[in-house]
Each structure stands twice: as C-alpha cells, then as structure tokens.
Amino acid sequence: MATTADDPSVAPTADAKAPVLCVTTNPAIDITYTIDELRVGVSHRVPTGLACAGGKGVNVARVLRQHHEPAMVIAPIGGPVRVLFVHDLDRSGIPHRLIDVDAPTRRTTAIVTPAGTTNLNETGEAIDAASWQRVLEAVRAEAAGSRVIVSAGSLPPETPAHLCASVVEIALAAGKPVIVDVGGAQLPHAVAAGATAVKPNRHELFDAMGGSDPLDAARRLAALGHGTVFASLDVEGMLAVLPDGRAWHAMLDHVLDGNPTGAGDAAVAAIAQALAEGATLEEQLARATAWSAAAVLSPQAGAIADPTELARRIRITPIG
C-alpha cells in the first residue's frame, strides 16, 4: 500500500524493530543498460534495461532490506513516473511515505561496459517551498518511530539552503542518530547542525571545503560539528575523521572491477546499521568500506554482493 504525507496511514512492516528512515531528497527512476561497448555517435541495439525506483535514499533502503534491516523511504514524487516508482517500492517490500509535488520526478541512466560506467543523471526540477515543508513534516511524524534517520542524495535546483540541516534538527529533537550524504553548501550546514555522521565523496568534500587534500578537507569539515566525517575516496578507500582531528584510513587490499554506482549508498547503509547497533567507530568504518566494495560487484545500485570475505581484507590504519 502506498502512502503519502497527506494520508497519515503508513504501510506496516512485519519487522519487530523500528526502521531506518531514508529521506530521499531527489528521487529518480534509475535505468541501467549493460552492453559490450559504448560508441559515441553510433546507434546501439541493447537488451532491455533494468528500471527501478532510485535516488540515494532509496538505494540505502534497498541495501538495508537486503541485510534484513527494516527501512522506510520518505520522498517528494511527481509526474508520470510516480506509478512505476510506487509499484517498484511496493514490489521490493519497502514501506514509503511519498509527498505529491508538481515537479516531475527525474530519471537517471547508467550505461555499464567492461571499460567502465557512464552515468547520465538528470538534475531534477525545482520543488516549491510548501512541498519541502510537507517533506519535513513527514520526517517529523516518522522520526520518533525510527532507529536512525538518513538524508541522502543530490538536491533539485532552488532547494532551501538549510534543508538537510532541518532534517538533522528534527532527528536530534527526536533523539535519533542522523547521517547526511549530500554535497555543496548543504554539507557544512548539516555538520554544524549536529549530524552524527556525514559521508561525502572526494568531489563533494572539495566542493564544500575547497583544497586538494582530502584529509585536510575532512578535518576542517569535522571541526564544524560534533560528529564523524566518513570521506569515500574511490579505489583509495575511506577516511573516518573526528572533530578533534583524529583520523583513520580503511582500504581493501586489492582494487575491484565492476560498477561503482551505488557504492556510496551501500556505505551509508552500513553506517546506519552500525550506528543502530552501537558499533565502535572502527567497526563503522570497516563495515562501510566492505559494503561499499561489495556494491562494486553488483550490477545495479541498491544491492551488494556478500561482503563477508571482503570485510576480512579491509585494513584500518590510524593517521597521526
């Protein structure tokens, strides 16, 4: 059963424990094509693409559900793809609270070849301020019944500058850990608002903080708040940095071939699960790195391979 913020009934979950609430600020219909070769300027006849509800928060929820963790999606949704979005979430067993908006939901396309993955990501269209308030009201309504709150994803144009910080404030008022995965100016605002953890990639980190040294940028970002900065560095692993400057580096002992789309979302899911369990910081970092690597071995975002063996091959090193 689909639900909306205007209809307070929520599709029940059979899980006994409370869900991770996954706020998806820029949902999408994700389409993935896997082909032998991509040739620019040439028409390709391709197998039927995989199409599913997407956006970072949805992908986080999928990975959590794969690991038997209950998750709920909150997202603004509009336009002709709404039916497909709702159908796919229902089919996937992911409860949701969707806020109807006038702006049509975007589409993303991933073209996967042996040489790498090419992504075509629509930016999305602006959502009016009243609709964003309804999104925040939905988060507030569900916060008390959640274990952890995640705000993940890009943002459409003209989004209020402190939207993610508002999600953080709602989570903290409800006494819940909160993870933010966003780039741009929203990132330092979320840290300053008190986010428990943030997970920028290298480009988002530099976009928000400037510079060219990820450790330095992560330390400056962490110093703005009281939580942990998990900075994903692609094949160079992941950093965990505390506000006092202490830092750790985690890395797999070999480079994986595969599709990196969704690796960051898997890392956020791992951090959410670890926080819900009260895991140590090193355990959070190790799990995030292993799940991120396992996502590379999966053909589509929102799923990961078995991370057990990968977890044994993660090495964590304190940084002075």
Q: pLDDT tens for residues 187-218?
A: 999 999 999 999 999 999 999 999 999 999 99
Distance CA 135, CA 166 (A): 11
Task: Indicate whether 245 belongs to any domain.
Answer: yes
- Where in the sequence is the domain holding 249, given as residue range(s)? 20-37+49-319
- 8 pLDDT higher than 50: no
- 264 pLDDT higher than 70: yes
Model pLDDT, residue 259 = 67
**pLDDT tier for residue 12 given thresholds of 50, 70 and 90:** very low
In the annotation, is 102 catalytic?
no
Task: Indicate whether 258 belongs to any domain.
Answer: yes
Task: Indicate whether 67 belongs to any domain.
Answer: yes
Model pLDDT, residue 203 = 96
Model pLDDT, residue 5 = 42
Task: Indicate whether 10 belongs to any domain.
Answer: no
Count the domains in the chain: 1
Q: pLDDT tens for residues 121-156?
A: 999 999 999 999 999 999 999 999 999 999 999 999
Select which of 15, 207, 265, 306 is catalytic: 265
**Full DSSP string of the chain:** ---BTTB------S-SSPPEEEEESS-EEEEEEE-S---TTS----PPPEEEEESHHHHHHHHHHHTT--EEEEEEE-STTHHHHHHHHHHHT--EEEEE-SSPPEEEEEEEETTEEEEEE-------HHHHHHHHHHHHHHHTT-SEEEEES---TT--TTHHHHHHHHHHHTT--EEEE--TTHHHHHHHHT-SEE--BHHHHHHHH-SS-HHHHHHHHHTTSSSEEEEE-GGG-EEEE-TTS-EEEEEESSPPPS--TTHHHHHHHHHHHHHHHT--HHHHHHHHHHHHHHHHTSSSTT-----HHHHHTEEEEEE-
Residue 189 belongs to a domain with what CATH number? 3.40.1190.20
Task: Indicate whether 1 belongs to any domain.
Answer: no
Task: Indicate whether 42 belongs to any domain.
Answer: no
Model pLDDT, residue 116 = 82
- 287 pLDDT higher than 70: yes
Task: Indicate whether 3 belongs to any domain.
Answer: no
Enter the pTM of the model.
Answer: 0.91
Task: Indicate whether 149 belongs to any domain.
Answer: yes
